[in-house]
Each structure stands twice: as C-alpha cells, then as structure tokens.
Amino acid sequence: MSNWTDKLFIERSDLFLKLMNQRWLHTDELINGITAVLRRYGISSGILLDLCCGNGRVSIHMAKKGFRAVGLDFSKTFLDDARRRADEHGVSKTVTFLEGDVRKLKEALRSSSESFDVVINAWTSVGFFSVKDDFNVFKQARELSRQGAILIIAETMHTEFLSAKFTPTSYTEINDIMMLKNRKYDPTTSKMNESWIFYEKSGENLKFIDRVEIELHVYSPSELTCLLRNAGWEPLAFYGSFSTLQPMSPLTSLNIVARAR
Ligand SMILES: C[S@@+](CC[C@H](N)C(=O)[O-])C[C@H]1O[C@@H](n2cnc3c(N)ncnc32)[C@H](O)[C@@H]1O
C-alpha cells in the first residue's frame, strides 16, 4: 500500500490545493514575523531552502523580501502552481522549485552547490514518515547549510496542543467543498490518525468525493528539540506564532528557531 501522503498530496492534490490556497491568505504576517526574527540573528538576505514547499507560499513571500529561495516538494501539481505563482509575483528569477523526495534531500539538491543561510519547514511538514526519516531530513539540511544558518519550523502541530485541545471531529468549508475530519490520538505512541472526508456541496445536499486516511507522528516540543540537536541544530527560541511572536503554549502551534552548530 502506498503511503497516505501519495494519496493526499499527489493523487488528490486538487483537493489539498484548496486548503493550501487558504493558507496563502495569512502568509504575509507569517513572513513578516520570520524576517523580523532572522534580522535578530543578523540575517536579512541570502539563500533559503524551503522543505516540503507545497505551492510555494513561503519561498515566494521570502523572495519578495530579498531572499533567493529553493523550494523542494514531491507533488508536481503543487510545483507547477508554485512556478506559475512565482511568475505572477515577479520572483521567478530568484526562486527555484525542485521536484524530489525530502528524505533524499541531498540527492534532490545535487545540482546546487549553495550553502543555505536559512532552512524553513512550515505547516506541520514533519511526522509524515518515521522519526528516523525526520532526523535524516534535518541532518541533511544541516549538511547543506553554513555554520550559523537558521532553521525555522513554523505552524506545527505538537502533543501539548492535542492534550489541551483535542477535538475528535471538525469540519471546514472551502467554497463548494466541505471537509469533515475524524480524529484519534494515541498518547502512548504519539500517533494521530485522521480520516479526511471530502464532500461537494450541492444545494442542501453533500456529494461524497473522497476519503483520505492520515497517520501523523506528532512531536512534543522536547522530542523535536532533541531530534534537532542530534541533527546539528541548536534550538534558540520557541514561539506560539511568528505573526505575533507570542510565547509558545499548549494552546498555540509550535514554532522553533534553531541555529546550525
Ligand atoms: C502541509 S503541506 C505544507 C506545504 C508548505 N510547507 C506550506 O507551508 O504551505 C505538506 C507538504 O509536504 C509535501 N510532502 C509530503 N511528503 C513529501 C516528501 N516525501 N518529499 C517532498 N515533499 C513532501 C506535500 O506535497 C505538501 O506540499
């Protein structure tokens, strides 16, 4: 059986793209916060690596702030959309989008001789595979970065949030689509299983479109801290949000700033 990520991000990329486009609406505030934090560490330009870049919202917004960006994703649909958007935003000369598996990061970036100043992993783009895979991704990212480079992990789900605010069901509406989520979380394994059920709205009725079964390893802040340290990144700060730079709490998402040792 193929991994659920193939189904959600490749086979049904048409559906996930709708969710991704909603995130674009809040990306200005995210990037203003990230660039303010980077300035604190003496970085206001340079080259950044956007891990699991989706349709490019982080790379494109960072390019508009003067960074050169390389975005990597394994979904052709998202990358095609990202390239079209880079053009539309006038940054296609400073952003490169590459297709590849983040678990084979060095291989995917073999054509680039850059040493990155910034690495970004946004919107819960960890925990899709094994903990060992995540460790290897951050280790490879460290090897591709200069000493003192900054790693940003943004808008990420974590175990404290699930303990404080677990909701077994939720639903989201995006134009003509309704998405129902059923959720289970096992604190003994840190695995969250979700059923995402998509419907098309048709007047008063809902027509079933598809269902995707998701399994995510949800990290605790301390587990991710330990993983990053072992991969060569020293965590420096934790925020609840890059938009507000409020402190992290069980009720916020997880946002980490770490430095390459
Ligand atoms: C939740 S989305 C986040 C997208 C983007 N970082 C953002 O903030 O808009 C997760 C992304 O990870 C990508 N992805 C999942 N598994 C991947 C893999 N093995 N290699 C590369 N990209 C992957 C998906 O295609 C998707 O774009």
Residue 206's CATH number: 2.20.25
Residue 111 pLDDT > 50, yes or no?
yes
Q: How confident is the model at residue 2 (pLDDT cuts 50, 70, 90)?
A: low
Residues 162-181, mean pLDDT to the nearest whole number: 95
Mean pLDDT for the chain overall: 96
In the reported structure, the alpha carbon of residue 5 is separated from the centroid of ligand 1 by a whole-number distance in angstroms of 9
Q: Strand, helix or coil at 208?
A: strand
- pLDDT digit string, tens, across residues 8-39: 999 999 999 999 999 999 999 999 999 999 99
- With the most atoms of ligand 1 within 8 angstroms of its CB, the residue from 3, 13, 21, 73 to mutate is 73
Q: Is there a domain that residue 55 lies in? A: yes
141 and 17 in a common domain: yes
Atom of ligand 1 nearest to the CA of 155: 8
210 and 118 in a common domain: no
Atom of ligand 1 nearest to the CA of 10: 25
Size (the chain), residues: 261
- pLDDT digit string, tens, across residues 191-206: 999 999 999 999 999 9
Percent of the chain exceeding pLDDT 70 equals 99
Minimal-distance CA residue to ligand 1 atom 27: 54
Q: Is there a domain that residue 63 lies in? A: yes
100 and 198 in a common domain: no
Give the pLDDT confidence score for residue 112 in this predicted structure.
76
Q: Is there a domain that residue 70 lies in? A: yes
Q: Which residue ranges have their beta carbon within 6 Å of ligand 1?
A: 5, 9, 20, 23, 52-54, 57-58, 73-75, 78, 101-103, 122-125, 128
In the reported structure, the alpha carbon of residue 206 is separated from the centroid of ligand 1 by a whole-number distance in angstroms of 28
Q: How far apart are CA 244 and CA 251, in angstroms?
A: 14
Q: Is there a domain that residue 1 lies in? A: no
Give the pLDDT confidence score for residue 149 in this predicted structure.
98
Q: Strand, helix or coil at 121?
A: strand
82 and 41 in a common domain: yes
- pLDDT digit string, tens, across residues 225-259: 999 999 999 999 999 999 999 999 999 999 999 99
Residue 105 pLDDT > 80, yes or no?
yes
The model's pTM is: 0.97
Give the pLDDT confidence score for residue 114 in this predicted structure.
78
In the reported structure, the alpha carbon of residue 10 is separated from the centroid of ligand 1 by a whole-number distance in angstroms of 10
Q: Is there a domain that residue 121 lies in? A: yes
Minimal-distance CA residue to ligand 1 atom 11: 52
Minimal-distance CA residue to ligand 1 atom 22: 73
Minimal-distance CA residue to ligand 1 atom 16: 5
Give the pLDDT confidence score for residue 82 in this predicted structure.
98
Residue 80 pLDDT > 70, yes or no?
yes
Q: Is there a domain that residue 181 lies in? A: yes
207 and 84 in a common domain: no
Give the pLDDT confidence score for residue 246 in this predicted structure.
96
CA distances from residue 224 to 86, 98, 157, 163, 181 in whole angstroms, order as listed: 32, 26, 11, 17, 25
135 and 213 in a common domain: no
Q: Which of 149, 138, 155 is nearest to 41 (CA)?
A: 149
Q: Is there a domain that residue 2 lies in? A: no
Structure token pair of residue 30: 């995210």
Percent of the chain exceeding pLDDT 90 equals 96
Q: Domain range spanning residue 93?
A: 7-156+219-260
105 and 14 in a common domain: yes
Domain boundary residue among 186, 202, 217? 217
- With the most atoms of ligand 1 within 8 angstroms of its CB, the residue from 74, 136, 216 to mutate is 74
Q: Distance between terminal CA atoms of the chain?
A: 39
135 and 174 in a common domain: no
213 and 228 in a common domain: no
151 and 39 in a common domain: yes
Number of domains in the chain: 2
116 and 210 in a common domain: no
Atom of ligand 1 nearest to the CA of 78: 27
Q: Is there a domain that residue 147 lies in? A: yes
- With the most atoms of ligand 1 within 8 angstroms of its CB, the residue from 52, 61, 75, 101 to mutate is 52
Residues 6+ apart with CB under 8 A from 71: 50, 53, 56, 58, 59, 79, 82, 95, 96, 97, 98
248: domain CATH number? Answer: 3.40.50.150
79 and 111 in a common domain: yes
Give the pLDDT confidence score for residue 1 in this predicted structure.
43
Give the pLDDT confidence score for residue 113 in this predicted structure.
76
Q: How far apart are CA 23 and CA 154, in angstroms?
A: 13
